Structure 1
Protein backbone atom coordinates (compact mmCIF):
# COMPACT_ATOMS: atom_id res chain seq x y z
CA UNK A 1 0.00 0.00 0.00
CA UNK A 2 1.02 3.62 -0.56
CA UNK A 3 2.13 5.67 2.43
CA UNK A 4 -0.19 8.66 2.69
CA UNK A 5 0.85 10.32 5.95
CA UNK A 6 4.22 9.81 7.61
CA UNK A 7 5.07 11.46 10.92
CA UNK A 8 8.69 11.21 12.06
CA UNK A 9 10.22 12.28 15.33
CA UNK A 10 7.82 15.07 16.29
CA UNK A 11 8.96 17.12 19.27
CA UNK A 12 6.43 19.81 20.14
CA UNK A 13 6.53 22.32 22.97
CA UNK A 14 4.12 24.82 24.51
CA UNK A 15 6.51 27.37 25.90
CA UNK A 16 8.99 25.32 27.91
CA UNK A 17 6.61 22.39 28.34
CA UNK A 18 7.77 19.45 26.20
CA UNK A 19 4.52 17.82 25.01
CA UNK A 20 5.47 15.44 22.17
CA UNK A 21 8.61 13.32 22.58
CA UNK A 22 9.53 11.95 19.15
CA UNK A 23 6.13 10.82 17.89
CA UNK A 24 6.30 8.47 14.86
CA UNK A 25 3.58 6.75 12.85
CA UNK A 26 2.55 6.01 9.27
CA UNK A 27 -0.94 5.95 7.75
CA UNK A 28 -1.34 4.17 4.44
CA UNK A 29 -3.78 5.20 1.71
CA UNK A 30 -7.26 3.79 2.31
CA UNK A 31 -6.60 2.99 5.97
CA UNK A 32 -8.48 4.14 9.03
CA UNK A 33 -6.22 4.83 12.01
CA UNK A 34 -7.17 5.48 15.61
CA UNK A 35 -5.10 7.79 17.82
CA UNK A 36 -5.92 7.00 21.43
CA UNK A 37 -4.79 8.09 24.86
CA UNK A 38 -6.07 9.60 28.07
CA UNK A 39 -6.74 13.34 28.29
CA UNK A 40 -3.57 15.41 28.18
CA UNK A 41 -1.40 12.75 26.54
CA UNK A 42 -0.74 14.70 23.33
CA UNK A 43 -3.41 13.53 20.86
CA UNK A 44 -4.69 16.96 19.84
CA UNK A 45 -1.16 18.38 19.90
CA UNK A 46 -0.17 15.65 17.45
CA UNK A 47 -2.98 16.66 15.11
CA UNK A 48 -2.10 20.34 15.41
CA UNK A 49 1.55 19.53 14.69
CA UNK A 50 0.53 17.62 11.55
CA UNK A 51 -1.69 20.50 10.42
CA UNK A 52 0.78 23.27 11.22
CA UNK A 53 -1.44 24.83 13.88
CA UNK A 54 1.54 24.51 16.20
CA UNK A 55 5.17 24.36 15.06
CA UNK A 56 7.23 21.39 16.29
CA UNK A 57 10.85 22.04 17.23
CA UNK A 58 11.89 18.77 15.61
CA UNK A 59 10.63 16.10 13.24
CA UNK A 60 8.86 16.10 9.90
CA UNK A 61 5.45 15.51 8.37
CA UNK A 62 5.19 13.91 4.92
CA UNK A 63 1.93 13.72 2.96
CA UNK A 64 1.74 11.87 -0.33
CA UNK A 65 5.54 11.98 -0.36
CA UNK A 66 5.74 15.77 0.03
CA UNK A 67 7.32 17.42 3.06
CA UNK A 68 4.72 19.63 4.74
CA UNK A 69 6.93 20.67 7.63
CA UNK A 70 7.55 24.25 6.45
CA UNK A 71 4.12 24.91 4.91
CA UNK A 72 1.43 27.06 6.55
CA UNK A 73 -1.78 25.35 7.57
CA UNK A 74 -3.86 26.43 4.58
CA UNK A 75 -1.32 25.04 2.12
CA UNK A 76 -1.23 21.74 4.00
CA UNK A 77 -5.01 21.46 3.79
CA UNK A 78 -4.90 22.17 0.05
CA UNK A 79 -2.71 19.07 -0.35
CA UNK A 80 -5.84 17.02 0.39
CA UNK A 81 -6.44 17.10 4.15
CA UNK A 82 -9.71 17.92 5.93
CA UNK A 83 -10.00 18.51 9.68
CA UNK A 84 -13.05 18.18 11.92
CA UNK A 85 -11.88 19.91 15.11
CA UNK A 86 -12.95 19.24 18.65
CA UNK A 87 -15.67 21.82 19.28
CA UNK A 88 -16.82 21.61 15.62
CA UNK A 89 -15.79 25.14 14.59
CA UNK A 90 -19.14 26.61 13.51
CA UNK A 91 -19.21 30.08 11.93
CA UNK A 92 -21.65 32.22 13.92
CA UNK A 93 -23.03 34.12 10.90
CA UNK A 94 -23.43 31.26 8.38
CA UNK A 95 -26.45 29.04 7.77
CA UNK A 96 -26.18 25.30 7.36
CA UNK A 97 -26.45 25.70 3.58
CA UNK A 98 -23.76 28.40 3.55
CA UNK A 99 -21.40 26.24 5.64
CA UNK A 100 -21.67 23.51 3.03
CA UNK A 101 -21.51 25.74 -0.03
CA UNK A 102 -18.47 27.56 1.31
CA UNK A 103 -16.48 24.33 1.67
CA UNK A 104 -17.34 22.61 -1.61
CA UNK A 105 -14.46 22.05 -4.02
CA UNK A 106 -12.99 19.22 -6.12
CA UNK A 107 -10.38 16.92 -4.63
CA UNK A 108 -6.71 16.84 -5.55
CA UNK A 109 -7.53 14.54 -8.48
CA UNK A 110 -10.01 17.07 -9.87
CA UNK A 111 -13.02 14.92 -8.99
CA UNK A 112 -15.89 15.81 -6.69
CA UNK A 113 -17.15 12.48 -5.38
CA UNK A 114 -18.62 14.18 -2.31
CA UNK A 115 -21.04 16.84 -3.48
CA UNK A 116 -23.81 18.86 -1.87
CA UNK A 117 -26.63 16.40 -2.56
CA UNK A 118 -24.59 13.41 -1.38
CA UNK A 119 -23.87 15.11 1.94
CA UNK A 120 -27.57 15.86 2.45
CA UNK A 121 -28.40 12.24 1.60
CA UNK A 122 -25.84 11.12 4.20
CA UNK A 123 -27.14 13.61 6.80
CA UNK A 124 -30.88 14.07 6.07
CA UNK A 125 -31.27 16.04 9.29
CA UNK A 126 -29.18 18.83 7.76
CA UNK A 127 -31.55 19.02 4.80
CA UNK A 128 -34.31 19.94 7.25
CA UNK A 129 -32.26 22.77 8.74
CA UNK A 130 -30.61 24.44 5.77
CA UNK A 131 -31.73 27.94 6.76
CA UNK A 132 -30.71 27.58 10.42
CA UNK A 133 -27.46 29.09 11.59
CA UNK A 134 -24.83 26.48 12.36
CA UNK A 135 -24.74 27.67 15.96
CA UNK A 136 -28.50 27.02 16.30
CA UNK A 137 -28.07 23.28 15.78
CA UNK A 138 -27.80 20.66 18.50
CA UNK A 139 -24.36 19.25 19.31
CA UNK A 140 -25.01 16.16 17.20
CA UNK A 141 -26.29 18.19 14.26
CA UNK A 142 -23.25 20.48 14.47
CA UNK A 143 -21.01 17.42 14.30
CA UNK A 144 -22.88 16.20 11.22
CA UNK A 145 -22.42 19.64 9.64
CA UNK A 146 -18.71 19.72 10.53
CA UNK A 147 -18.17 16.30 8.95
CA UNK A 148 -20.28 17.16 5.90
CA UNK A 149 -18.37 20.41 5.43
CA UNK A 150 -15.06 18.52 5.57
CA UNK A 151 -16.25 15.88 3.10
CA UNK A 152 -17.18 18.57 0.57
CA UNK A 153 -13.50 19.46 0.22
CA UNK A 154 -13.07 15.92 -1.19
CA UNK A 155 -9.94 15.19 0.85
CA UNK A 156 -7.51 12.31 0.60
CA UNK A 157 -7.38 12.27 4.41
CA UNK A 158 -10.15 13.11 6.88
CA UNK A 159 -8.98 13.89 10.43
CA UNK A 160 -11.58 13.76 13.21
CA UNK A 161 -10.78 15.03 16.71
CA UNK A 162 -13.14 13.65 19.38
CA UNK A 163 -15.88 13.02 16.82
CA UNK A 164 -18.44 11.78 19.37
CA UNK A 165 -17.40 13.70 22.49
CA UNK A 166 -20.38 14.84 24.59
CA UNK A 167 -23.06 13.45 22.27
CA UNK A 168 -26.10 11.43 23.28
CA UNK A 169 -25.73 7.65 22.76
CA UNK A 170 -28.11 7.45 19.78
CA UNK A 171 -26.45 10.38 18.02
CA UNK A 172 -23.02 8.91 18.80
CA UNK A 173 -24.09 5.63 17.17
CA UNK A 174 -25.28 7.54 14.10
CA UNK A 175 -21.97 9.40 13.80
CA UNK A 176 -19.99 6.15 14.06
CA UNK A 177 -22.13 4.62 11.31
CA UNK A 178 -21.36 7.58 9.05
CA UNK A 179 -17.63 7.32 9.79
CA UNK A 180 -17.76 3.61 8.92
CA UNK A 181 -19.49 4.52 5.65
CA UNK A 182 -16.76 7.08 4.89
CA UNK A 183 -14.09 4.45 5.58
CA UNK A 184 -15.85 1.93 3.34
CA UNK A 185 -15.84 4.50 0.54
CA UNK A 186 -12.03 4.24 0.55
CA UNK A 187 -11.22 7.57 2.14
CA UNK A 188 -8.31 7.51 4.61
CA UNK A 189 -9.25 8.60 8.12
CA UNK A 190 -7.37 9.50 11.29
CA UNK A 191 -9.67 9.36 14.29
CA UNK A 192 -9.00 10.65 17.80
CA UNK A 193 -11.42 9.15 20.30
CA UNK A 194 -11.46 7.18 23.54
CA UNK A 195 -13.97 4.49 22.56
CA UNK A 196 -11.68 1.50 22.05
CA UNK A 197 -14.66 -0.84 21.72
CA UNK A 198 -15.76 0.95 18.55
CA UNK A 199 -12.29 1.80 17.25
CA UNK A 200 -10.93 -1.74 17.46
CA UNK A 201 -13.60 -2.83 14.95
CA UNK A 202 -13.64 0.30 12.81
CA UNK A 203 -9.95 1.04 12.30
CA UNK A 204 -7.18 -0.89 10.57
CA UNK A 205 -4.33 0.54 12.63
CA UNK A 206 -4.03 1.92 16.13
CA UNK A 207 -1.62 4.29 17.87
CA UNK A 208 -1.67 4.94 21.62
CA UNK A 209 0.03 7.92 23.25
CA UNK A 210 1.18 8.19 26.85
CA UNK A 211 2.78 11.47 27.93
CA UNK A 212 3.57 12.44 24.35
CA UNK A 213 5.19 9.15 23.38
CA UNK A 214 3.91 6.27 21.24
CA UNK A 215 3.53 3.23 23.49
CA UNK A 216 1.57 1.11 20.99
CA UNK A 217 1.47 1.10 17.19
CA UNK A 218 -0.06 -1.89 15.47
CA UNK A 219 -2.90 -3.34 13.43
CA UNK A 220 -6.14 -4.64 14.86
CA UNK A 221 -4.85 -8.20 15.33
CA UNK A 222 -1.90 -6.86 17.34
CA UNK A 223 -4.26 -4.64 19.35
CA UNK A 224 -6.51 -7.56 20.23
CA UNK A 225 -3.54 -9.69 21.24
CA UNK A 226 -2.37 -6.98 23.63
CA UNK A 227 -5.76 -5.51 24.53
CA UNK A 228 -5.34 -5.67 28.29
CA UNK A 229 -2.13 -3.62 28.19
CA UNK A 230 -3.64 -1.06 25.80
CA UNK A 231 -6.74 -0.70 27.98
CA UNK A 232 -4.45 -0.05 30.95
CA UNK A 233 -2.85 2.84 29.03
CA UNK A 234 -6.31 4.27 28.36
CA UNK A 235 -7.80 3.86 31.83
CA UNK A 236 -7.99 6.77 34.25
Structure 2
Protein backbone atom coordinates (compact mmCIF):
# COMPACT_ATOMS: atom_id res chain seq x y z
CA UNK A 1 0.00 0.00 0.00
CA UNK A 2 1.32 3.45 -0.94
CA UNK A 3 2.35 5.99 1.70
CA UNK A 4 0.16 9.08 1.88
CA UNK A 5 2.49 10.81 4.36
CA UNK A 6 6.20 10.50 5.12
CA UNK A 7 7.80 12.49 7.93
CA UNK A 8 11.60 12.49 7.94
CA UNK A 9 13.84 13.76 10.72
CA UNK A 10 11.82 16.73 11.92
CA UNK A 11 13.80 19.15 14.07
CA UNK A 12 11.43 21.86 15.33
CA UNK A 13 12.22 24.72 17.71
CA UNK A 14 10.14 27.39 19.42
CA UNK A 15 12.65 30.19 19.76
CA UNK A 16 15.58 28.61 21.61
CA UNK A 17 13.51 25.67 22.86
CA UNK A 18 14.27 22.51 20.89
CA UNK A 19 10.99 20.55 20.81
CA UNK A 20 11.28 17.84 18.13
CA UNK A 21 14.48 15.81 17.81
CA UNK A 22 14.42 13.90 14.53
CA UNK A 23 10.80 12.71 14.45
CA UNK A 24 10.21 10.25 11.60
CA UNK A 25 7.27 8.03 10.62
CA UNK A 26 5.03 7.23 7.67
CA UNK A 27 1.33 6.64 7.12
CA UNK A 28 -0.11 4.44 4.40
CA UNK A 29 -3.15 5.46 2.38
CA UNK A 30 -6.30 4.60 4.34
CA UNK A 31 -4.37 3.90 7.55
CA UNK A 32 -5.45 5.13 10.99
CA UNK A 33 -2.49 6.05 13.20
CA UNK A 34 -2.30 7.09 16.85
CA UNK A 35 0.26 9.48 18.32
CA UNK A 36 0.62 9.14 22.07
CA UNK A 37 2.65 10.85 24.75
CA UNK A 38 2.36 12.87 27.92
CA UNK A 39 1.53 16.58 27.76
CA UNK A 40 4.45 18.67 26.54
CA UNK A 41 6.25 15.78 24.82
CA UNK A 42 5.85 17.14 21.28
CA UNK A 43 2.65 15.56 19.94
CA UNK A 44 0.92 18.80 18.94
CA UNK A 45 4.20 20.24 17.66
CA UNK A 46 4.55 17.20 15.40
CA UNK A 47 1.12 17.88 13.93
CA UNK A 48 1.85 21.60 13.55
CA UNK A 49 5.14 20.80 11.84
CA UNK A 50 3.32 18.58 9.35
CA UNK A 51 0.86 21.39 8.69
CA UNK A 52 3.45 24.18 8.51
CA UNK A 53 2.06 26.01 11.53
CA UNK A 54 5.36 25.34 13.31
CA UNK A 55 7.83 24.97 10.41
CA UNK A 56 10.66 22.56 11.21
CA UNK A 57 14.25 23.85 11.25
CA UNK A 58 15.22 20.74 9.29
CA UNK A 59 13.71 17.50 8.07
CA UNK A 60 11.00 16.98 5.48
CA UNK A 61 7.27 16.30 5.06
CA UNK A 62 6.30 14.30 1.97
CA UNK A 63 2.58 14.15 1.16
CA UNK A 64 1.34 12.00 -1.73
CA UNK A 65 4.88 11.92 -3.05
CA UNK A 66 5.29 15.72 -3.01
CA UNK A 67 7.70 17.56 -0.72
CA UNK A 68 5.44 20.08 1.06
CA UNK A 69 7.97 21.04 3.76
CA UNK A 70 8.23 24.68 2.64
CA UNK A 71 4.64 25.21 1.53
CA UNK A 72 2.46 27.63 3.53
CA UNK A 73 -0.23 26.03 5.65
CA UNK A 74 -3.15 27.05 3.44
CA UNK A 75 -1.62 25.38 0.41
CA UNK A 76 -1.14 22.16 2.37
CA UNK A 77 -4.78 22.19 3.46
CA UNK A 78 -5.85 22.67 -0.15
CA UNK A 79 -4.15 19.37 -0.90
CA UNK A 80 -6.99 17.57 0.91
CA UNK A 81 -5.67 17.71 4.47
CA UNK A 82 -8.07 18.59 7.33
CA UNK A 83 -7.15 19.52 10.90
CA UNK A 84 -9.20 19.47 14.09
CA UNK A 85 -7.08 21.49 16.57
CA UNK A 86 -6.96 20.88 20.30
CA UNK A 87 -8.82 24.14 20.97
CA UNK A 88 -11.44 23.29 18.29
CA UNK A 89 -11.10 26.70 16.61
CA UNK A 90 -14.64 28.04 16.89
CA UNK A 91 -15.43 31.43 15.33
CA UNK A 92 -17.36 33.51 17.87
CA UNK A 93 -19.44 35.31 15.22
CA UNK A 94 -20.54 32.25 13.19
CA UNK A 95 -23.49 29.95 13.81
CA UNK A 96 -23.21 26.18 13.66
CA UNK A 97 -24.78 26.22 10.20
CA UNK A 98 -22.33 28.87 9.00
CA UNK A 99 -19.33 26.95 10.37
CA UNK A 100 -20.39 23.98 8.26
CA UNK A 101 -21.38 25.92 5.16
CA UNK A 102 -18.13 27.86 4.82
CA UNK A 103 -16.10 24.64 5.06
CA UNK A 104 -18.05 22.61 2.50
CA UNK A 105 -16.17 21.96 -0.70
CA UNK A 106 -15.17 19.20 -3.08
CA UNK A 107 -11.68 17.81 -2.80
CA UNK A 108 -8.98 18.31 -5.42
CA UNK A 109 -10.39 15.43 -7.49
CA UNK A 110 -13.86 16.99 -7.52
CA UNK A 111 -15.31 14.42 -5.10
CA UNK A 112 -17.74 15.27 -2.32
CA UNK A 113 -18.17 12.08 -0.32
CA UNK A 114 -19.10 14.07 2.79
CA UNK A 115 -22.00 16.52 2.42
CA UNK A 116 -23.75 18.93 4.75
CA UNK A 117 -26.70 16.55 5.16
CA UNK A 118 -24.41 13.58 5.85
CA UNK A 119 -22.57 15.46 8.59
CA UNK A 120 -25.87 16.35 10.28
CA UNK A 121 -26.92 12.72 9.99
CA UNK A 122 -23.72 11.64 11.73
CA UNK A 123 -24.06 14.40 14.35
CA UNK A 124 -27.84 14.82 14.84
CA UNK A 125 -27.19 16.92 17.94
CA UNK A 126 -25.89 19.70 15.69
CA UNK A 127 -29.25 19.86 13.88
CA UNK A 128 -30.77 21.17 17.11
CA UNK A 129 -28.05 23.84 17.39
CA UNK A 130 -27.85 25.20 13.84
CA UNK A 131 -28.72 28.77 14.83
CA UNK A 132 -26.47 28.81 17.91
CA UNK A 133 -23.04 30.39 17.74
CA UNK A 134 -20.22 27.85 17.76
CA UNK A 135 -18.87 29.30 21.01
CA UNK A 136 -22.25 28.74 22.70
CA UNK A 137 -21.98 24.97 22.37
CA UNK A 138 -20.78 22.55 25.02
CA UNK A 139 -17.27 21.14 24.67
CA UNK A 140 -18.60 17.92 23.19
CA UNK A 141 -20.81 19.73 20.70
CA UNK A 142 -17.90 21.95 19.67
CA UNK A 143 -15.82 18.84 18.98
CA UNK A 144 -18.63 17.41 16.86
CA UNK A 145 -18.81 20.68 14.94
CA UNK A 146 -15.04 20.81 14.48
CA UNK A 147 -14.96 17.25 13.11
CA UNK A 148 -18.00 17.86 10.92
CA UNK A 149 -16.43 21.03 9.54
CA UNK A 150 -13.23 19.14 8.74
CA UNK A 151 -15.11 16.32 7.01
CA UNK A 152 -16.91 18.79 4.76
CA UNK A 153 -13.58 19.65 3.12
CA UNK A 154 -13.58 15.99 1.95
CA UNK A 155 -10.03 15.27 3.09
CA UNK A 156 -7.73 12.39 2.21
CA UNK A 157 -5.87 12.96 5.50
CA UNK A 158 -7.66 13.97 8.71
CA UNK A 159 -5.63 15.08 11.74
CA UNK A 160 -7.34 15.04 15.15
CA UNK A 161 -5.48 16.65 18.06
CA UNK A 162 -6.80 15.49 21.48
CA UNK A 163 -9.83 13.84 19.89
CA UNK A 164 -11.78 13.23 23.12
CA UNK A 165 -9.84 15.20 25.75
CA UNK A 166 -12.04 16.61 28.53
CA UNK A 167 -15.31 15.24 27.13
CA UNK A 168 -18.03 13.42 29.07
CA UNK A 169 -18.01 9.60 28.70
CA UNK A 170 -21.15 9.44 26.54
CA UNK A 171 -19.84 12.15 24.23
CA UNK A 172 -16.47 10.39 23.97
CA UNK A 173 -18.26 7.20 22.98
CA UNK A 174 -20.17 9.06 20.28
CA UNK A 175 -16.98 10.68 18.94
CA UNK A 176 -15.21 7.31 18.77
CA UNK A 177 -18.14 5.85 16.83
CA UNK A 178 -17.85 8.64 14.27
CA UNK A 179 -14.08 8.14 14.01
CA UNK A 180 -14.76 4.49 13.21
CA UNK A 181 -17.10 5.60 10.41
CA UNK A 182 -14.36 7.89 9.10
CA UNK A 183 -11.91 4.97 9.18
CA UNK A 184 -14.38 2.75 7.32
CA UNK A 185 -14.78 5.45 4.66
CA UNK A 186 -11.08 5.11 3.81
CA UNK A 187 -9.84 8.49 5.05
CA UNK A 188 -6.28 8.34 6.38
CA UNK A 189 -6.35 9.61 9.96
CA UNK A 190 -3.88 10.71 12.63
CA UNK A 191 -5.35 10.67 16.16
CA UNK A 192 -3.78 12.19 19.25
CA UNK A 193 -5.51 10.83 22.34
CA UNK A 194 -4.77 9.14 25.66
CA UNK A 195 -7.21 6.20 25.51
CA UNK A 196 -4.81 3.34 24.79
CA UNK A 197 -7.57 0.70 24.79
CA UNK A 198 -9.67 2.38 22.10
CA UNK A 199 -6.64 3.42 20.05
CA UNK A 200 -5.33 -0.15 20.15
CA UNK A 201 -8.62 -1.44 18.73
CA UNK A 202 -9.03 1.32 16.16
CA UNK A 203 -5.56 2.08 14.76
CA UNK A 204 -3.23 0.03 12.58
CA UNK A 205 -0.13 1.86 13.76
CA UNK A 206 0.94 3.57 16.99
CA UNK A 207 3.63 6.16 17.64
CA UNK A 208 4.89 7.15 21.10
CA UNK A 209 6.69 10.47 21.47
CA UNK A 210 8.80 11.15 24.55
CA UNK A 211 10.67 14.45 24.89
CA UNK A 212 10.40 15.13 21.18
CA UNK A 213 11.68 11.73 20.06
CA UNK A 214 9.84 8.70 18.67
CA UNK A 215 10.41 6.04 21.34
CA UNK A 216 8.02 3.42 19.97
CA UNK A 217 6.47 2.76 16.59
CA UNK A 218 4.52 -0.38 15.73
CA UNK A 219 1.21 -2.15 15.18
CA UNK A 220 -1.34 -3.13 17.82
CA UNK A 221 0.33 -6.47 18.52
CA UNK A 222 3.61 -4.66 19.18
CA UNK A 223 1.73 -2.20 21.37
CA UNK A 224 0.41 -5.09 23.46
CA UNK A 225 3.89 -6.59 23.71
CA UNK A 226 5.25 -3.25 24.97
CA UNK A 227 2.23 -2.28 27.06
CA UNK A 228 4.13 -1.81 30.32
CA UNK A 229 6.65 0.53 28.68
CA UNK A 230 3.88 2.49 26.92
CA UNK A 231 1.83 2.89 30.10
CA UNK A 232 4.92 3.96 32.07
CA UNK A 233 5.75 6.53 29.38
CA UNK A 234 2.22 7.93 29.51
CA UNK A 235 1.98 8.01 33.31
CA UNK A 236 2.04 11.46 34.93
User: Is the TM-score greater than 0.5?
Assistant: yes
TM-fit CA distance, 1:108: 2.2
Q: Which residue number in structure 2 is paired with residue 151 of structure 1?
A: 151
State whether residues 108 and 155 of structure 1, in contact with CA within 8 Å, keep that contact through their aligned partners in structure 2: no
C-alpha distance after superposition, 1:182-218 (max 9, x if no partner): 1111111000011111101111100000000000011
Task: Indicate yes or no: 2:126 matched with 1:126.
Answer: yes
Q: Which residue number in structure 2 is paired with residue 2 of structure 1?
A: 2
Instruction: Provide the secondary structure at the position in 2 that maps to 1:46.
Output: helix
Q: Which residue number in structure 2 is paired with residue 170 of structure 1?
A: 170
Extract unaligned runs of 5+ from structure 1.
none
Q: Which residue number in structure 2 is paired with residue 199 of structure 1?
A: 199
C-alpha distance after superposition, 1:100-133 (max 9, x if no partner): 0000000122110000000000000011111111
State whether residues 96 and 134 of structure 1, in contact with CA within 8 Å, keep that contact through their aligned partners in structure 2: yes
Distance 1:9 1:67 in 2: 14
Instruction: Provide the secondary structure at the position in 1 that maps to 2:69.
Output: coil
C-alpha distance after superposition, 1:73-112 (max 9, x if no partner): 0000011100000010000000000000000000122110
Distance 1:227 1:142 in 2: 32
Q: Which residue number in structure 1 is paired with residue 216 of structure 2?
A: 216
C-alpha distance after superposition, 1:30-88 (max 9, x if no partner): 00000000011000000000000011111000100011111000000011100000010
Instruction: Provide the secondary structure at the position in 1 that maps to 2:108.
Output: coil
TM, length-normalised to structure 2: 0.99
Tell me how large the CA RMSD over aligned residues is: 0.7
1:102-121 correspondence to structure 2 within 5 Å: 102-121=102-121
Distance 1:103 1:222 in 2: 38
Task: Indicate yes or no: 2:67 matched with 1:67.
Answer: yes
Distance 1:130 1:111 in 2: 25
Distance 1:82 1:218 in 2: 24
Distance 2:31 2:217 in 1: 14
State whether residues 11 and 22 of structure 1, in contact with CA within 8 Å, keep that contact through their aligned partners in structure 2: yes
Matched positions, count: 236
Q: Which residue number in structure 2 is paired with residue 188 of structure 1?
A: 188
TM-fit CA distance, 1:163: 1.1
Distance 1:92 1:217 in 2: 39
